[in-house]
Amino acid sequence: MEILTPKNANKPGRILLNTQMIADELVDIPWSFILNSTDKKPLLKGFELYTGKKDLADGIIYMLPKDGAAGFPVDTHPYITTGDVHGAAPHIRSVNCSDAELLNALLEIFERYHQFESDLNDVLINSGSLNDLCRVGIKFFHNPMYIHDRMFTVIALPEYKEGMLQFERSDNGTSIHIPLWLINDFKFDEAYIDTLTKREAAIWGMEEYPRNMRSLYVNIWDDQYYCGRLLINELETPLKPGQFRLAEMLAEYVKIIMLKDMQHPQKIYSDYEDTVRTLIRGGEPDRRDVNALLDILGWQEDDTYICLKLQSQSPDIQIRSDSALRSKLTAVFPRSFEFFHEQRLCMIINVTSDRRDGETIKADLAPLVRDSYMYCGISNPITGLRKLRTGFDQTDITLNYILFRSSRWTMLFSECAPYYMIRTLANTMAPADLVSSDILKLRAIDKEKNTDYCNTLRTYLENERSIPKTSEALIIHRTTLQYRLEKIAQLTHLNLDSRDVRMYLNISFRILDYVDATRPAAEQ
């Protein structure tokens, strides 16, 4: 029977066995035996009683009667026997039972696996859920199991057993997830991060979280995309070596249902980081994904947020490898949301609940950023998640300013906003058409007569028209300053008592700074 699956999902292959998986079943009987397991990949689809025939099939393990093994190619074909028959092929020998008992055991073993495969296929054929699939798995593995997506929301937990991880339920009760404290630990735990690269089943041991059990886990992959994880908790029966391959087979079924559900409008497994990235790009994420993000973080959509973006001072150093920095950031901002985007570490701080303003955040970050050789751009406060794009645009502008125009490590957007506004303004019209004609006139006179009128006017404005402060800044006598100001008044007829005139002059000076800074060296 053909199994119908989404176009981008592979049909799971038939469940095959290897000698280790057969040996796992024999242990439960229990019988003593000697195992030579070199067939790591399951290839066995059945067994046959060896009767002396010459044409042997592939994918079959042969049962050799105790006194009927003569002529069997023990170096090329897998076998199992009650006798002491040595060979190079994968085999199980010296099983301490009669031939009839071994034959019956093999029938039961292959029937058990056949039934497991049949039950899994029934779930797919009847459009069953991930919980249905886990129920089949629990019956076979005799241990509780669950599945979470790549952002730790539990998407399958058919039954809870004492000793399992204490999950957290969302405020509205619509979902359960891994506890946030554990998520934060995982995000910056090098051992856990390494598990996210695994393509094969592996053990998460008792020395890791949670420390009261071992778990057999398999990552769910859709090509290069990590979708989540299947976990089998070792709580009721010991995990067995052969179950690693079986767990991988079960994960293939999980992937099919996950991909199928992703195409269903009522079954979308949210990825909180992707939800945030969609908002940063100005897109419109699914409303349920936004609700799930707010739910797990305990935020309100219209709260006030500050966005941060950090990058390494060296292009050769990947910020992802700096676990010390990330751990400290989590400690300083425990309710923040951290994620990686375009080779930079991004953070969202809910200042409605955190109660820190930009200056305080900057002060708290400064030593961490300095000691880790990072740069950090900090946005203005923004209201509402829908403004995340604006917030992270501001962090990009700030980082670019730090990289090209500042020697500082940490900066607020408000500190470089004037430069950004001037740069944007200067790109809309030729500078000569934007800048005050009076300033251009003074510059021309300074160049022709070697005077210092332009700089004097600027310093005078920057010092709020204070004669003592301006003369001190220019290192000239007050009489000299008074003379220059009188000459400037004669040359320009500027009304410096007008606030709008002073603002226009200050902006004009900033535009000229920008033009001078961006002019090619050959023209300077």
Domain membership of residue 118 (yes or no) is no
Q: Residue 302 burial by CB count (10 A; 0-12/13-18/19+): exposed, middle or buried? A: exposed
> Residue 242 pLDDT more than 60?
yes
Residue where a domain terminates, one of 409, 425, 441: 425
Q: For position 293, which CATH number holds?
A: 3.30.70
Backbone angles phi, psi at 326, to 5 degrees: -65, -40
Q: Maximum Cα–Cα distance for the chain, whole Å? A: 123
284, 392: one domain:
yes
Q: At what angle are helices 467-474 and 478-492 packed, to 10 degrees?
A: 100
| pLDDT over threshold 90, residue 348 | yes
- Whether the CA torsion 142, 144, 150, 154 is positive or negative: it is positive
Q: For tokens 């029977």, what's the residue? A: 1
Shared domain for 222 and 248, answered yes or no, is yes
Q: Which residue has the higher pLDDT, 211 or 138?
A: 138
Confidence of residue 210 (pLDDT cuts 50, 70, 90): low
Residue 319 is predicted with a pLDDT of 55
Written as one letter, the residue type at 141 is F
Residue 12 lies in a domain: no
pLDDT-derived band at 478 (thresholds 50, 70, 90) equals very high
Both 421 and 439 in one domain: the answer is: no
Looking at mean pLDDT, say which of 86-100, 182-196, 221-235, 310-324 comes out highest.
86-100
pLDDT band at 322 (very low <50, low <70, confident <90, very high): low
Same domain, 421 and 285: yes
* Structural tokens at position 189: 């735990």
Parallel/antiparallel/unpaired status of strands 60-64 and 46-49: parallel
Please tell me whether residues 204 and 306 are part of one structural domain.
Answer: no
Query: Which pLDDT belongs to residue 519?
Result: 65
Per-residue pLDDT, 1: 25
What confidence tens digit (pLDDT) does each residue in 385-404 have?
999 999 999 999 999 999 88
User: Which band of pLDDT confidence, cut at 50, 70 and 90, is reported for residue 524?
Assistant: very low
What CATH number is attached to the domain comprising 157? 3.30.450.40
- Binned at pLDDT 50, 70 and 90, residue 173 comes out as low
Does residue 135 sit in the same domain as residue 198?
Answer: yes
pTM score, two decimals? Answer: 0.57
- Which of 125-129, 221-225, 462-466 is the least confident region? 221-225
One domain, residues 153 and 252: yes
pLDDT at 11: 57
Local confidence band at 115 (pLDDT 50, 70, 90 cut-offs): very high
Q: Please report, to the nearest 10 degrees, the dihedral formed by the alpha carbons of residues 297, 298, 302, 307 taken in order.
A: -30
| Cα→Cα distances 222→75, 151, 279, 292, Å | 38, 15, 24, 23
Whether 267 is covered by a domain: the verdict is no
Percentage, residues of the chain above pLDDT 70: 90
- Higher-confidence position of 227 and 308: 308
Average pLDDT in the chain: 86
> In angstroms, rounded to a whole number, what is the distance separating the alpha carbons of residues 468 and 457?
14
CA 468/CA 446 separation, integer angstroms = 23
Name the β-bridge partners of 348.
Answer: 307, 337
Per-residue pLDDT, 188? 72
pLDDT confidence of residue 8? 38
User: pLDDT tens digits, residue range 271-294?
Assistant: 577 788 889 988 888 787 788 788
Q: Transcribe 499-522 into DSSP letters.
A: HHHHHHHHHHHHHHHHHHHHS-GG
Same domain, 347 and 204: no
If you write DSSP's letter for every residue of 418-455 in order, what string do you get? HHHHHHHHHTTS-HHHHS-HHHHHHHHHHHHH---HHH
Say if residues 191 and 204 touch (Cβ distance below 8 Å): no
The yes-or-no verdict on residue 458 having pLDDT over 50 is: yes
510/100: higher pLDDT = 100
Residues constituting the chain = 524
pLDDT for residue 271: 59
361 and 376 housed in the same domain: yes
pLDDT the model gives residue 186: 80
Q: What is the tens place of the pLDDT at every residue in 415-424? A: 989 888 888 8
Any domain includes 161: yes
Q: CA neighbours within 13 Å on the CB side: how many for 205?
A: 2
SS3 148: strand
**Domain encompassing residue 455:** 431-523
Kindly indicate the confidence band of residue 87, based on its pLDDT and cuts at 50, 70 and 90. very high
Q: Per-residue DSSP letters for 36-88?
A: E----S--B-EEEE--S-S-PPTTEEEEEPTT--TT--TTTS-EEESS----S
Residue 229 near residue 200 (C-beta atoms within 8 A):
no
Predicted confidence (pLDDT) at residue 372 exceeds the cutoff of 90: no
387, 402, 425 - which closes a domain: 425
Q: Is residue 5 a part of any domain in this protein?
A: no
Q: Which residue has the higher pLDDT, 10 or 277?
A: 277
Query: How many domains are contained in the chain?
Result: 4
Q: What is the dihedral of CA 18, 23, 24, 26, to 10 degrees?
A: 140
Q: Is the pLDDT of residue 492 over 80?
A: yes
What pLDDT sits at residue 502?
Answer: 94
217 assigned to some structural domain: yes
Is 2 domain-assigned? no
Is the residue at 10 inside a domain?
Answer: no
* pLDDT score for 520: 57
CA distance 73 to 86: 11
Helix axes 99-125, 19-27, angle to 10 degrees: 110
Q: Check whether 172 has a pLDDT greater than 60.
A: no
**DSSP letter, residue 225:** E
Q: Decide: residue 363, CB within 10 A, 0-12 exposed, 13-18 middle, 19+ buried.
A: exposed
From 393, 425, 457, the end of a domain falls on 425
* Least-confidence region, from 64-68, 107-111, 167-171, 290-294: 167-171
Between residues 372 and 248, the one the model is more confident about: 248
Residues 361 and 444 in one domain: no
Where does the pLDDT of residue 10 fall: very low under 50, low under 70, confident under 90, or very high at 90 and above?
A: very low
Same domain, 156 and 244: yes
Asked if residue 179 and residue 53 are part of one domain, the reply reads: no
**Residue 470 binned pLDDT confidence (cut-offs 50, 70, 90):** very high
Task: Count CB atoms within 10 A of the CB of residue 128.
Answer: 17
Rama region for 343: left / alpha / beta (φ>0; ψ in -120 to 50; rest):
left
